[in-house]
Amino acid sequence: MPNSRDQLLACIPRLRRYARALVGDRAGADDLVQDTVERGWGRLASWEGGSDMRAWLFSIMHNLHIDQARRPSVPTEALNEETSMALAPGSPSSGLELRDMETALRALPEEQREILLLVALEEMSYDDVAQTLKIPIGTVMSRLSRAREKMRANMEGRAYIAPLKVVK
């Protein structure tokens, strides 16, 4: 069985992928991963050895991301072409579809986007997501359902109409 240091290092590619999808830019994602690994390394003694380190690190990343979102920041834009996102190979429309999907993902509320990314991109179970974000599993399922429906509606070019019931 690998030691905790090796387990932490093995989680970095998934942390980077999730951070990139969550934050939207490479530099911000790398900063978030670095902060997550630094905090995880510093608190490695508090990690329960038999538990899933990936979920523990994602929980740290989630909390750091929330803290960073609350802090006021100066908007910046990369001036370097090397940091731009490469288009998907294939037909010219595949790049447009990728852009449309990214736009639809950014249009989701933060709490829905986080859950969608953890389940779809990181393949975490609902239970792991609930533990990572410290919310009930039912909340995970309802937010995921709404996120998927909003994404589907946006990608199909139709308006999303929330099925709300009037309660008197």
Per-residue pLDDT at 163 exceeds 70:
no
Is 0.75 surpassed by the pTM of this model? no
Specify the pLDDT at position 87. Answer: 47
- The domain of 139 spans 91-158
Same domain, 43 and 14: yes
Give how far Cα 102 sits from Cα of 79, 81, 85, 106, Å.
21, 19, 11, 6
Of 19, 40, 72, the residue that ends a domain is 72
Same domain, 133 and 95: yes
For residue 163, is it within any domain?
Answer: no
Question: How confident is the model over 91-137, as pLDDT tens digits?
Answer: 556 667 777 778 888 888 889 999 999 998 888 999 999 998 999 99
Among 136, 152, 62, residue whose Cα is nearest residue 104: 152
Question: How confident is the model over 49-93, as pLDDT tens digits?
Answer: 777 888 899 999 998 998 887 776 656 565 555 554 544 455 556
Same domain, 106 and 62: no
Read off the CATH number of the domain in which 133 is found.
1.10.10.10
Same domain, 66 and 7: yes
Of 72, 104, 123, the residue that ends a domain is 72
Of residues 154 and 90, which shows the higher confidence score? 154
Per-residue pLDDT at 45 exceeds 60:
yes
d(CA 49, CA 74): 39
Specify the pLDDT at position 115. Answer: 92
Of residues 165 and 160, which shows the higher confidence score? 160
d(CA 137, CA 165): 22
Specify the pLDDT at position 16. Answer: 92
Ranking 20-29, 54-63, 80-89, 141-150 by mean pLDDT, the lowest is 80-89
Of 72, 103, 118, the residue that ends a domain is 72
